Amino acid sequence: MFRNNEQKTLPYRMLVFHEVIKSGSFTGAAERLGHTRSAISTYISQLESLVGTTLMTRSTRRLSLTPAGRQFALRCEQMAETLQLAIEELQDFEQEPQGRITITAPHAFESLLVESVIAELCRQYPKLIADVTFSDQRLDLLEHKLDMAISVGPQKDSDYHAIKLGELRSYLVAAPKYLESQGSPEPLTLSHHTLIQLPWQEKAALYSGDQRIILQTSRIMKVNTLPAAINYAIHGLGVLLAPSIFVADAVQAGKLERAMPGWQAETREVFALHTFGKRMPFILRQTAERLKRQLEAMGY
């Protein structure tokens, strides 16, 4: 454990270490930080003494990171980026966000995104104009001139940057009146029930521990958006596989019940895609962070 005075000196020495790696030499780091070369060498020696391990080997021609040094370098880089981001965010606060932001998201996120994120941002920043397209198709950012896309599930390899916002956990639900008339589905009887199926669920499976069953039935009622599918289920038209956060209110109100407890689909990750690299605009960072907080508050 570090003593208090040691903890106070550690962050700056980590930044010096990061600068040495970026510059590739003590001399380069000294020039960028306004120190002498010998001062940089002293900082690195003190850092290694504090962490209790050798971080790099020095020679007259090159610097080489040890395995511990390579791992530590990643944390130092993250700290440097966090500090830079903190400064940039303060600068952003000096200028009120204004103009148009263009976002696309699946239909399922309509209520969550508009009520909990977009409406709040527009009230907080009156000069902001939010242009949101809800579509279950994955719209290309560049082709459709979008600033951000909320996307669920595995992402294609691309040059777009992805921020993980949370995860969706899905299970089967049905209306009480459906379960009363048709009985509760079980793994062996599931195929005899009516399934309300969304386009991306054609190859869906359910899991319980090491067990796996394909979600197939003799009767399939297809629908193209999750809000519509939830309404179908509430009206007793069949069994639906749906993310828990989007049916939680209906379950709590008694309009839907969970079917086959203990079975659920694979967890699907939610991402915010953008093209801005590390210098993501303030208002888009706010959008992503607020949506992430909402998902966390809802338990994903």
What CATH number is attached to the domain comprising 144? 3.40.190.10
Task: For residues 169 and 267, give the distance between their C-alpha atoms in angstroms, rounded to a whole number.
Answer: 5
Q: Which whole-number Å values give the CA distances from 2 to 11, 55, 170, 183, in the listed order?
A: 12, 18, 45, 62
Q: What domain count does the chain have?
A: 3
Say if residue 146 is in the same domain as residue 293: yes
Given this model, what pLDDT does residue 92 score? 58
User: Rounded distance, CA 128 to CA 8, Å?
Assistant: 41
| Domain of residue 39, residue span | 4-93
123 belongs to a structural domain: yes
263 occurs within a structural domain: no
Closest CA to 27 of 15, 39, 18, 45: 39
What pLDDT, in 10s, does the model give residues 74-119? Answer: 999 888 888 877 776 666 555 667 788 999 999 999 988 888 899 9
69 and 203 together in one domain: no
Highest mean pLDDT among 65-79, 155-169, 277-291: 65-79
Computed over every residue of the chain, the mean pLDDT equals 89
Mean pLDDT computed over 213-227: 92
Instruction: Copy the structure tokens of residue 129.
Output: 């104009």
Q: Is the domain of 152 the same as that of 275?
A: yes
